[in-house]
Amino acid sequence: MGRHKYGAKAVVIDGKTFPSKAEGRRYEELKLMQREGIIRDLQLQPRYPIRISGVLVTTYVADFRYFDVERGQEVVEDVKGFVTDVYKLKKKLVKLVHDVDVIEIPA
């Protein structure tokens, strides 16, 4: 496992490789929340294809998606240490195409 272009170090947890320690920590937090019944249906790297006029333009891959039991709604998260212009654009496109609000979790 090498270094990420922004200096993040990859980490392996439960046999899954996360590109940063921050994302790995968040995964551990979410697993605990799921065990406690606070959330359910935890998914890693859910994909959101962005199609415009039937043409696949790009695909946004979030870090996590789960159902928040207390709020009664699905939550999509992205752990961010650095926000790029490409990420900002994809976040807007996911909102427009899929009506999904991505929550940013600071690294």
Distance CA 29, CA 3 (A): 23
pLDDT at 105: 95
Chain segment 78-102, per-residue pLDDT in tens: 999 889 999 999 999 999 999 999 9
Q: How many CA within 13 A on the CB side of residue 27? A: 19
Please report the domains of the chain, with CATH numbers, ordered by start residue: 11-106 (3.40.1350.10)
Q: For residue range 22-79, what is the model confidence (pLDDT) as tens digits?
A: 999 999 999 999 999 999 999 999 999 999 999 999 999 999 999 999 999 999 999 9
